[in-house]
Chain A
Amino acid sequence: MNSAVIVFPGSNCDRDMAEALHLVSGRAPHMIWHREPTLPDGLDLIAIPGGFSYGDYLRAGAMAAQSPVMRAVREAAERGIFVLGVCNGFQVLAESHLLPGALMRNGGLSFVCRDVPLRVENSQSAFTARYQADEIVTFPVAHHDGNFQADEETLDRLEGEGRVALRYADAVNGSARNIAGILNEAGNVLGMMPHPERAVEPAHGRTDGRRLFEGLIEAVLQPA
């Protein structure tokens, strides 16, 4: 799998994401600086990592969404290339309108940094194909602005179309309907607050995140 990790000033999970992609796919990803107007040819996956791009100025992800590289990411997403946004990456995707809704300050106001159980709500997507529907997996979260909000109509549509990929098993940050991760309409863009890249090898304490990357590799190697 040929992948790229987008790096913004203030990204701090870009190395973790790169290590996870290298480990699981056997191939080091391209590291793409935010000023790049174009992406390498032949990409299968673009990962937007966690962190605090542009210091979370204005709103988390708002400035990154305006960066030159995001225009290229938007075009790639429209061509069907897989895009995974984790944590700040999810915020960037929402601010870029590649995913609906918004991520607000956590309901309890506290930064939440711990392992949380998640329910896999949709195991049909490329990202979640290696999980069982309703399976409970445990990923770390570490965020201050993970409180997913959208209007009721949007939430109903997301649920109805199977676009809620992951849901917190217990309330974590005030997210509407405990939503932890959502897909775009075409199913090739996933935004999620929990960190799969921090759960890919035994030294991490758990490996539940590994199957997310394995599912993508499988989808890339054997297109439907």
Chain B
Amino acid sequence: MKTRVYVTLKNGVLDPQGKAIHHALEGLGFSGVNDVRAGKLIELDLDPGVSDADVEAMCRKLLANTVIENYRIERPETAA
């Protein structure tokens, strides 16, 4: 069961990498890009028995640094 965790910088936290990507896109001649924020996608292959609470704990304890990052969990509709 593939679960996806999206880790993104909190609003207001300056994203130097997003800024650099933005500049590079402008350098390539792409217009109309107002802002770029870079984040991470982490895919977890989980046993069906792993609870949502467990995934939350994984995010808080390791996958995201909640001082600067938010996380969003996307679990597939459980077939079980």
| A pairs with B | yes
- Which of B14, B19, B20, B67 has the most chain A CB atoms closer than 10 A to its own CB? B67
Least Cβ–Cβ distance between A64 and chain B, in angstroms: 12
Find chain A residues with CB under 8 A from B67 CB: 94, 100-102, 149-151
Select from chain A the residue with minimum beta-carbon distance to B13.
A149
Find chain B residues with CB under 8 A from A95 CB: 65
* CB atoms of A106 and B62 under 8 A apart: no
Report the Cα distance A102→B67, complex, angstroms.
Answer: 6
* CB atoms of B62 and A147 under 8 A apart: no
Is A105 interfacial (CB 8 A cutoff)? Answer: yes
Q: Give the interface residue-count category, chain A.
A: 20 to 34
- Which of A100, A104, A109 has the most chain B CB atoms closer than 10 A to its own CB? A104
The 0/1 profile, CB within 8 Å of A marked 1, for residues 50-80 of chain B is: 0000000000001101011000000000000
B1-52 contacts to A (CB < 8 Å) = 13-14, 16-17, 19-20
Find chain A residues with CB under 8 A from B16 CB: 104-109, 147, 174
* CB atoms of A102 and B65 under 8 A apart: yes
Report the Cα distance A108→B67, complex, angstroms.
Answer: 21
Interface of B is mostly: helix
Is A34 interfacial (CB 8 A cutoff)? Answer: no
* CB atoms of B20 and A104 under 8 A apart: no
Find chain A residues with CB under 8 A from B62 CB: 58, 62, 66
Select from chain B the residue with minimum beta-carbon distance to A176.
B14
Is A71 interfacial (CB 8 A cutoff)? Answer: no
Report the Cα distance A149→B68, complex, angstroms.
Answer: 8
B contact set with A: CB distance below 8 Å: 13-14, 16-17, 19-20, 62-63, 65, 67-68
A contact set with B: CB distance below 8 Å: 58-59, 62, 66, 94-95, 100-102, 104-109, 147, 149-151, 174
Identify 7 new A-B residue pairs, CB closer than 8 A, beyond the known A66-B62, A109-B19, A149-B67: A58-B63, A59-B65, A95-B65, A102-B65, A106-B16, A109-B16, A149-B68
